[in-house]
Structure 1
Amino acid sequence: MINEKIDFEKLAKYSRHAPRYTSYPTAVEFKDLAPEDIIDEFKSDKPLSLYFHLPFCRSACYFCGCNVVYTSKADKRKRYIEYLAKELKILSKYLDTNRMVRQLHFGGGTPTFFTPEELEEVYELIYTYFKNFENDAEISVEIDPRFFSKAHMDVMKKYGINRISFGVQDFNEETQKAVNRIQPFEITKEAVDIARDAGIKSINIDLIYGLPYQSLDTFKKTLEKVIKLNPDRLAVFNYAHVPWLKKGMRKIDETTLPSPEENLKIFKYTIDFFENNGYIMVGMDHFAKPEDELFKAIEKGELHRNFQGYTTKGGADLIGIGLTSISETENAYFQNYKDLKNYEKAIDEGKLPVFRGVILNEEDKIRKYVIMEMMANFSFDIKRFEEKFDINFFEKFENEMKELQEFVDAGLVEITPEKIKVNRTGSLLIRNIVLPFDEYFKKMKNQKVFSKSV
């Protein structure tokens, strides 16, 4: 699939609004769940993937779709660390913290909103409870280069950080002003150099196309600067403008957003640019060097996708800790409170700060398996599915196969008795291709909450 040509005419024709899939079910509304509803989900013996949400930023980036608390007050940071400690103590009553840890990820906000000393407190807390890490455990962090120092890096290195993702989005000054994120190239380069000097061998850069005042010409200049940073991976996302969901986006002048046609030109050029500079496109929004384990995993059909994006570390229970964090286990998804007041109140009452989620039924598990296999590896082993669930695939999904026929006729999908295979152009439309299997999406009448695929 790697060497196949992308048909950009078909890409434009079949790009439609779809959920931003990370996991299934996505189009279902989470319902209220009490902490006692999910206690059994902690009793597995699977490895753990831990996600710690450090939700603070000093100011809003208008494009941001994350759950963030904006503040500059030091006492907020200290108080939050105290409540992380309390949450971990409560969690340890239900979760066997001796389970092997496969992944440890710090997201935000920006974790480096915290001082190096405060970050060390957070790490010490974590390692007090979780002591068993796989030898090749992935320990990663998302960083805003504007708030990153060698002192931060020294602490991270001490506690085993081996992957760093730097947020860049765009280096065009006009775009940066429009989204309230002034970040000169020199600041980003300094941050990357600090990480390289510390021996970090896996550095990712995040970019976004579709932002205000972007054009093919301006984005070309951004890409030329990015390649000088020599990242190991890149994530290139299409901006989802959803001001009805995110208030910060209301500050963006919609007349300054590039047209769909311009976006497609930017995306096409970006693919060509990175592939001409030695990167391989992995999935629908990632690029990696050929020696990167992401590329090796997709070659073997062993790539996975979770709330953090593509990963080689599957087969783990994802446990979210901190404000707004989402957890994913074999049988459920559940989320912590999204506002500090309720989060702290639950913890003060000695409860897990969980307030909503969904318990998966057998039908959910079957459909999740199909969707996630196709989302991650762009192929689906029908015989393996039938052995796993003791179900005849074509009888079970007779109607879904009819809906998929449109993509087969377009030459984007191939179906045989043994496999469903998506070609390279189809892989960029995978969110649309898997929709027939999402029974929740079919029930959604208002699709305004979804975004365009490309």
Structure 2
Amino acid sequence: LIDKDRKVLQIHWGGGTPNYLELDQVKFLWKNITRNFPIASDAEVSIEINPRYVTRDYILFLRDIGFNRISFGIQDFNPEVQKAVNRIQPEALLFDVMSWIKEAKFDSVNVDLIYGLPYQTLDTFRETLHKTMALDADRIVVFNFAYVPWIKPVQKMIPQAALPGAEEKLDILKMTIEELTNNEYLFIGMDHFAKNNNELAIAQRHGTLKRNFQGYTTHAETELFGFGATSISMLEDAYAQNHKELKDYYKAVAAGVIPTSKGIKLTQDDIIRRDVIMSIMSHFQLNKSEIEQKYHINFDKYFGYELKELAPLQADGLVNVLADEIHITDIGRLLVRNIAVVFDTHTRTRETKFSRSI
């Protein structure tokens, strides 16, 4: 199915806690990947780890076999917040893990935070940011907590009254952007921050930054192949998702068939809209003439409905719609997802209940 001469430019082990695997299992899996796929010599090879279940030897082993990027979740340093979300990891542990990573000389380190968690306040999250910056990670991702107990029943255990309100969450987000951008981090897209010399920041400056299911990527031209339960593949004109249930996934693999549960073939309209959305979410602006020349359309005529939908957002100071450009304002960056979704007809026709943007 895949041309064996195509070089793999990026590998990402994620989806939770890959380091639950024993070292010999990691070695076995890595050996089979490199045996079946030609890996580019300068490939970005990353892995997510859970800092509560890793040792110095494990970190050094990962670097030794070929991983050059690593990511781990902090969520919040505050003990009360950690207890509320059942993610207790002492400050000393997190600094130890970072010291092992630096000792191993990974090319890039990413850490994740989450705002909107129970018992968070503006002051407590500022303290978390200061401790996070002391770790000196190359990238920091600050996710919005999605409170969706109707999808994740375990969240019903979280005291809803302890969650910060929408206004306080917005204040936390604004403060986060100010703190990080005042301390040598560049605001990348919706939720990513990177040091000025990091490849994400460089890609944004060069206009080559793109977003996929893993977040922001420096390789705009690549296709994404997902392996494992629930993973999603993103091809030039199609998406496919593997089975979510392990029993279904294993059954398909055992039968020798591709374990996909669903897929979609993109129409030309889907591809055009994907380009528009990617530009807005990656660069906070869109050049209309570039889309017109690439797809041979009249932008204002093709997106007449969407431009009307942007009018109230422009009135609120979130976006500027100009003759040949759509520009997201500084305050609009906080809600860039809401702006981009205007161009997504699939979201417009769905009625499923998801989490709020703020």
The TM-score range, normalised by the shorter chain, is over 0.9
Instruction: Tell me the equivalent position of 1:421.
Output: 327
Q: Which residue of 1 aligns with 2:126?
A: 220
- Give distance in 2, aligned partners of 1:254 and 1:261: 15
Identity %: 44
> Aligned in 2, Cα 1:164/1:132: closer, same or farther, shift over 3 Å?
closer
- In structure 1, runs of 5+ residues without a counterpart are 1-93
1:268-306 CA-to-partner distances (Å, cap 9, x unmatched) read 222222222222211121111111121122222221100
Partner residue of 1:329 out of 223, 232, 235? 235
Counterparts of 1:89-108 in structure 2, within 5 Å, are 94-108=1-15
Shift of 1:244: 0.7
1:281 to 146, 162, 187: 187
RMSD over aligned Cα, in angstroms? 1.5
User: How far apart, CA to CA, are the structure 2 residues paired with 1:222 and 1:110?
Assistant: 23
- Aligned: 1:367 with 2:265: no
CA distance in 1, matches of 2:330, 2:218: 20
Q: Which residue of 2 aligns with 1:112?
A: 19
- Where do residues 390-429 of structure 1 align in structure 2 (5 Å cutoff)? 390-429=296-335
Name the structure 2 match of 1:46.
none
State the one-letter code of the partner of 2:321.
I
- Rounded to whole Å, the distance in 2 between the matches of 1:300 and 1:291 is 13
Whether the 8 Å CA contact 2:229–2:246 is kept in 1: the answer is: yes
Q: What letter matches 1:158 in structure 2?
A: D
Equivalent residue of 2:331, what SS? Answer: helix
SS of aligned partner of 1:112: helix
Match of 2:34 among 127, 133, 147: 127
Classify the secondary structure of the residue corresponding to 1:342: helix
Q: Conserved in 1, the CA contact under 8 Å of 2:188 and 2:282?
A: no
2:357 aligns to what? 453
**Structure 1 residues 143-166: Cα deviation after superposition (integer angstroms, max 9, x where no partner):** 111111222223321232111111
Q: Check the 8 A contact 2:211/2:217 in 1, yes or no.
A: yes
| Counterpart contact for 1:203–1:232, Cα < 8 Å | yes
Q: Secondary structure at the match of 1:372?
A: helix
Partner of 2:136: 230
| Residue pair 1:165, 1:203 contacting (<8 A) in 2 also | yes
> 2: distance between equivalents of 1:278 and 1:119?
35
Deviations 1:289-340 (A, max 9, x none): 1111211222222211001111212111100001111111111111111111
Is the Cα–Cα contact under 8 Å of residues 190 and 337 in structure 2 kept in the other structure? no
Runs of 4+ in 1 over 4 A off after TM superposition: none
Report the alpha carbon displacement of residue 420 of structure 1 after superposing the two structures with TM. 1.5
Q: 1:173 aligns with which of 79, 95, 102?
A: 79
Shift of 1:408: 2.5
Distance in 2 (alpha carbons) for counterparts of 1:121 and 1:130: 14
Aligned to 1:47: none
Match of 2:224, SS?
A: strand
Q: In 2, distance between residues paired with 1:397 and 1:250? A: 41
Q: What secondary structure, in the 3-state scheme, does the structure 1 residue paired with 2:63 have?
A: helix
Residue 206 (1) aligns with residue 116 (2)? no
SS in 1 for 2:151: coil
The answer to whether the 8 Å contact 1:216/1:266 transfers is yes
State how many pairs are aligned: 358
How far apart in 2 are the matches of 1:453 and 1:167? Answer: 21
1:195 matched residue in structure 2: 101
Map of 1:17-416 to 2, 5 A cutoff? 94-133=1-40, 135-416=41-322
**Alignment check: 8 A CA contact 1:98 1:132 kept:** no
Structure ranking higher on relative contact order (CA contacts 8 Å, 6+ apart): 1
Aligned AA for 1:111?
P
Partner of 1:26: none
Specify the SS of the correspondent of 1:287: strand
CA offset digits 1:207-248 (Å, max 9, x no partner): 001111111222122222212211111001110100111122
The alignment's TM-score, normalised by the length of structure 2, stands at 0.96
| Displacement of 1:168 | 0.5
Q: Equivalent residue of 1:317, what SS?
A: coil
- Aligned partners of 1:275 and 1:445: how far apart in 2? 37
Amino acid at match of 1:114: L
SS of residue matched to 1:380: strand
